[in-house]
Amino acid sequence: MQEGIAAELQAASRLFGQLAEDAEFLGEVEAVARRWLASLDAGGQILLAGNGGSAADAQHIAAEIVCRYRVVRPGAAAVALTTDTSVLTAIANDFGYEHVFARQVEALGRPGDVLVGFTTSGESPNVLRALETAGRRGLTTVALTGARGLPAGPAVDHLLAVPDPATARVQEVHGLIGHLLCAVVEDALVARAQGDAAP
C-alpha cells in the first residue's frame, strides 16, 4: 500500500516540477492573474464554474478571493456559479442542464468580468456554453482543462491545459493554479491597499 501511495506522490511531484520549468505555462498563469487584477481594479468580478470535483474547485477559489488566501486584505468579488441550488435546478428544469452556467453568466456577467471554466475533459457542455456566452458578452474567458484542451469548444482568451491524461493529476494542478492565481492577486491587492493607506 505504501508503495502505491509513494508512486502517486512521485507522479504528482514530477508533473509539478515539469510545470515549474514550463515558461509558456508560467506566462499564461501570469497573464490570467493580470486579467483578474484588471477586472477587480475596474469593479468587476471573477465568475467560476465546473462540475463535480471541478465545482468544488470553483467554490474553493471563490472563497479564497472573497475572504482571503493567506493574509487579511480588502475583499474581492468572486462568485461560484455552482452554489445556488434554486437557481441551478430552475435553469436545469426549464432550459436543460447544459444551460445552468450560461444562464447565470447572461444574468450576472458584465463586460470586463472574468469567467473561469473548469473542465478536466475539455468537453463539459455546460462549461463550454458558459464560456461561449461569456465571450459574446465581453467577459475574459479562462479555461482550465486536461491535456486535450477544448477539442470541440469555443475559442477562449486563456487556456491552461494540464499536460497529463490522469483526471486526478489534472484536478490537483487545477487546485494549484487556483492557489497560484490567488497568491499573485492577493499580493497585488495588499500592496495597493498599503499604498492607499500611506500618508
Residue 176 has which C-alpha cell? 494549484
Bind-site residues for Zn(2+): 60, 64, 171, 179
Bind-site residues: 51-53, 60, 64, 93-94, 119-121, 124, 171, 179
Q: Measure CA 56 to chain center.
A: 11
Closest CA to 187 of 80, 78, 79, 68: 68
Bind-site residues for substrate: 51-53, 64, 93-94, 119-121, 124, 171
Order of all β-strands in the sheet with 78-80? 78-80, 46-49, 114-119, 140-145, 158-161
Contacts of 36 (CB under 8 A, 6+ apart): 46, 114, 181, 185
